[in-house]
Structure 1
Amino acid sequence: MNRTKTGLLSMATAAVLAMGLAPGTAVAHGGSGHGDSDHSDDWRNNDDQRRLVRILRNVTEDYRWLKNAKKDGYKRITECIDHPEGGAMGYHYAKEDLIDDKTQPRKPEVLVYMPNRSGEFRLVAVEFISTADDQPSIAGVDFEKGPFPDSWALHAWVWRDNPDGMFAAFNPDLSCPTKK
């Protein structure tokens, strides 16, 4: 692995971990996640977005179980990220060799997990991370400011309903487990 990718992942990890602890998490990573973004649930009426969701569900089907993602090289880069006003993203697992300036529907850079009632981690969303110079979009959905400098991000809640919309950053129906 080249030094640039290692540096990017280290920077992303540090930034995302810091975000999970900072009160400004939403501002630092994709808006409030509480319906004030352009990402409504109109995706069902948009052919490109419906196609994107189908592709993402297809390519991540095996990753619904965390052990499969780990076997394929995804590594945990955050603890559970939540929003101080409610809602959460979850635990982020990244595949570092995918983090670059490209956006490929069949290769999401980050998988987002939450524990189910029995404590097993299950995939709830994917996140695209891009280091492109200009704001990228996919299926007509614009990325938002990403978790580290000069990055862009977009969540897609393909395995968990999100009342704030398919492409919202935070899911108000989720909360991070309390630390004991």
Structure 2
Amino acid sequence: MKRTRTGLLSMVAAAALAMGLAPGTALAHGGSGHGGSDHSDDWRNNDDQRRLVNVLRHVTDEYRWLENAKADGYEEITKCIEDRGVGAMGFHYAKNDLIDDKTQARKPEVLVYMPNKYGRYKLVAVEFISTAAHQPSIAGVKFETGPFEGSWALHAWIWRDNPSGMFAAYNPDLRCPK
């Protein structure tokens, strides 16, 4: 079934609201949110994961500044997401045309931003969202339960170090702005 761009944005927004999401609250993507056993902190020693990170950095380089992502059709779907004691994910911007049952390294569905010390939003991570019938994986990393029913999600902290691991959902070094 083909979903419209507006329909998917509405679905993601409705799922976020149904989960009690408001600015500064956490979005549960299932799992521990800390990366789990399949999310190796040692991604540099895994050829597939290292290649994935390099590809993601290459294809998102132009999106490191939020205005470029918006100009290319990415739209805000959440305010900053934080789980006290665990860390933050950031502000999520999605390109709804990409949300489907496929996972393509060169086309991340969601870009995750945090403001720098000057208040400019900078790309810190990407998030893959899939509506696949079965739990997908990319570069050997399994997705966790996603933000809306029937979805799967996986973060990759390609532009910001994450002590919890490259593929953890939350970054303990980040806090949402007040």
Q: TM-score, normalised by structure 1?
A: 0.90
Is the 2:24–2:79 contact (alpha carbons within 8 Å) kept by the matching residues of 1?
no
Q: How does 1:26-175 map to 2 (within 5 A)?
A: 28-34=28-34, 36-175=36-175
The one-letter amino acid paired with 1:68 is N
Is the 1:30–1:169 contact (alpha carbons within 8 Å) kept by the matching residues of 2?
no
SS of corresponding position for 1:20: coil
Aligned length: 176
Deviating beyond 6 angstroms after TM superposition, the runs of 4 or more aligned structure 1 residues are: none
Q: Which moved more, 1:9-18 or 1:150-159?
A: 9-18
Question: Deviation digits for residues 52-84 of structure 1, max 9, x if unmatched?
Answer: 000000000000000100010000000000013
Is the 1:31–1:37 contact (alpha carbons within 8 Å) kept by the matching residues of 2?
no
Q: TM-score, normalised by structure 2?
A: 0.91
Superposed displacement of residue 118, structure 1:
0.3
> What residue ranges of structure 1 are gaps of 5+ in the alignment?
none
Q: Which moved more, 1:4-13 or 1:142-151?
A: 4-13
The one-letter amino acid paired with 1:163 is P
Identity %: 72
> What residue ranges of structure 2 are gaps of 5+ in the alignment?
none
Q: Which moved more, 1:52-61 or 1:34-43?
A: 34-43
Tell me, in whole angstroms, the C-alpha distance in 2 between the residues paired with 1:146 and 1:126.
Answer: 14
Superposed displacement of residue 32, structure 1:
3.5
SS of corresponding position for 2:21: helix
SS of corresponding position for 2:11: helix
Aligned to 1:20: 21
Is the 2:95–2:110 contact (alpha carbons within 8 Å) kept by the matching residues of 1?
yes
Is the 2:115–2:121 contact (alpha carbons within 8 Å) kept by the matching residues of 1?
yes
SS of corresponding position for 2:42: helix
Is the 1:30–1:153 contact (alpha carbons within 8 Å) kept by the matching residues of 2?
no
Is the 1:125–1:159 contact (alpha carbons within 8 Å) kept by the matching residues of 2?
yes
Q: RMSD across aligned C-alpha pairs, in angstroms?
A: 2.1
Superposed displacement of residue 42, structure 1:
1.4
